Structure 1
């Protein structure tokens, strides 16, 4: 990481921290957000974050399981 880029990230992270009300313990989140913003400005692709898997879509209509009806004699 170049010194200039690191300084830009540091300044942006500090601004984010101030805008968030100066909370304790959020340094890494602010640094990550600042890094993403600086990379975006520089046109660098973002690292892909792990995306949670989406559940399979349910079929439309009745959601109750179908049961067999007894046959009439």
Structure 2
């Protein structure tokens, strides 16, 4: 097996792994291939194995970021304060 064949096989295996991690979506083979090639190139360059992290699913919805403190304070200030019930006179 030549060096090029070995690289192609590594890319093929990595692309398959990416495809599986993303839930086996149809029609994304080119993106998976290019991502896999970049991962293999990074490995060959001696960079940390950043390609080993699972890819995010394309259909996943990210968590909403927390509102900045100023927005939270403004929202809190705009809410009407609940008043305590008054004691009945005897």
TM bucket by the smaller chain? 0.5 to 0.7
Q: CA RMSD in A?
A: 1.6
Query: What's the TM-score, normalizing by structure 1?
Result: 0.57
Query: What's the TM-score, normalizing by structure 2?
Result: 0.47
13, 16, 20: which one aligns with 2:15: 13
5+ residue gaps, structure 2, are 47-90
Regions of 4+ moved over 4 Å:
none
5+ residue gaps, structure 1, are 45-73
Aligned length: 44
Structure 1 residue 9: Cα displacement: 0.2
- Aligned pairs for 1:28-67 (under 5 A) are 28-43=30-45
